[in-house]
């Protein structure tokens, strides 16, 4: 265990020393993953690709990932919204609907909470990597309660991605990254048909939302787990954060089992349990590198001033830069003294 603690301390010190370089690199790779996924949609109007044909697709991804790294989050959101809209531009009505929804999310939430809004992207990525149950635990440990809003938005967007592709039957067979052909309609005619097209989009979205409420149940369970983990992890008890992680996993499993039994939603219970346990282990690893507390050396301090009385509990962190060696000294035992008398007068007697 000592070697693990020494390795942890080395990793933490290395990260803190080069944090100014590591964080931009991580953000760059995040942007590279995000924009690669966005450009893979590929349902663009045929007038757009000739503008970007001079640049290699890989170069375009790297360019936007670099912009994502150096720009503030609000500007990054605008770039993401514009590119997503262009990717659906083969259907003008669908592109406008996507643009309006994303701008609504940006103006009424992401613009006012740029740091928390990154959870929308992380939630979608977590679903792509099949580790969505990690999100509510991490949110409960390290974010305020209001962070359940971007998590809910991320769950909703992830659930509607297949619906968006289903709304484009004319280009369903077009492979990702290819240029879709659209009907040659006058722009004025397309604008005139927008109300009817919006009505069709609205009906399909409502029918998809009515067909399944899995995303809604998932959002409710994630919100409950995040709030529970947030409350328990901030209690003044030993191993509060570790207990919060365990409770979060238990409540996630219990919540989805209740949903399956009561609503009949199609959820793979076995995979859900395995995924939750794996996510709980990942959360434990994150907590391990975040900090380990030595509760055996905890102390309570009491002091007061003119207005208040303070009762503070201090729990030191475990820091081990090298293995501790216990040296045991072996001292020679003193020789036993003979109890018989050596007085010469005794011999004379």
112-136 pLDDT, tens digit each: 888 899 999 999 999 999 999 999 9
pLDDT value for 29: 94
What mean pLDDT comes out for the span 293-311?
83
Phi and psi of 236, rounded to 5°? -85, 60
Please compute the mean of the pLDDT values over residues 291-300 and round it to a whole number: 81
Per-residue model confidence (pLDDT) at position 313: 81
Res 53 pLDDT > 90: no
The chain-wide mean pLDDT, for the chain, equals 80
Element (DSSP H or E) covering residue 63: helix 57-70
pTM assigned to the model: 0.79
- What is the model's pLDDT at position 314? 84
The 10 Å Cβ neighbour count of residue 59 is: 11
Q: How far is CA 266 from each of CA 158, 234, 257, 259, rounded to the nearest angstrom? A: 17, 35, 11, 9
């Amino acid at each position: 265990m000592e070697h693990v603690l020494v390795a942890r301390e080395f990793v933490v010190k290395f990260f803190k020393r080069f944090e100014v370089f590591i964080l931009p690199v991580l953000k760059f790779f995040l942007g590279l993953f995000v924009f690669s996924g966005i450009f893979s949609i590929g349902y663009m109007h045929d007038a757009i690709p000739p503008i970007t044909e001079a640049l290699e697709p890989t170069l375009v991804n790297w360019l936007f990932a670099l912009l994502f790294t150096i720009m503030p989050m609000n500007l990054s959101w605008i770039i993401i919204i514009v590119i997503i809209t262009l990717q659906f531009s083969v259907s003008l009505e669908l592109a406008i609907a996507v643009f309006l929804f994303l701008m609504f999310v940006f103006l009424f939430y992401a613009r006012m909470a740029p740091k928390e809004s990154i959870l929308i992207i992380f939630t979608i990525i977590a679903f792509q990597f099949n580790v969505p149950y990690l999100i509510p635990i991490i949110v409960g440990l390290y974010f305020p309660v209001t962070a359940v809003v971007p998590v809910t938005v991320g769950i909703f967007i992830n659930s509607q991605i297949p619906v968006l592709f289903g709304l484009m039957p004319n280009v369903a067979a077009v492979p990702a990254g290819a240029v879709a052909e659209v009907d040659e309609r006058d722009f004025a005619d397309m604008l005139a048909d927008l109300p009817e097209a919006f009505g069709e989009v609205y009906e399909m979205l409502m029918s998809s939302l009515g067909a399944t409420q899995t995303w809604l149940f998932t959002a409710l369970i994630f919100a409950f787990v995040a709030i529970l983990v947030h409350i328990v992890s901030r209690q003044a008890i030993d191993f509060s954060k570790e207990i919060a992680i365990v409770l979060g996993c238990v409540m996630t499993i219990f919540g989805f089992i209740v949903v399956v039994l009561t609503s009949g939603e199609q959820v793979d219970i076995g995979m859900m349990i395995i995924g939750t346990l794996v996510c709980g282990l990942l959360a434990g690893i994150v907590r391990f590198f975040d900090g380990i507390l030595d509760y055996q050396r905890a102390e309570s301090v009491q002091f007061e001033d003119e207005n208040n009385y303070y009762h503070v509990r201090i729990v030191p962190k475990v820091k081990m830069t090298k293995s501790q060696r216990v040296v045991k000294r072996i001292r020679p035992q003193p020789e036993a003294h003979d109890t018989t008398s050596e007085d010469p007068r005794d011999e004379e007697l």
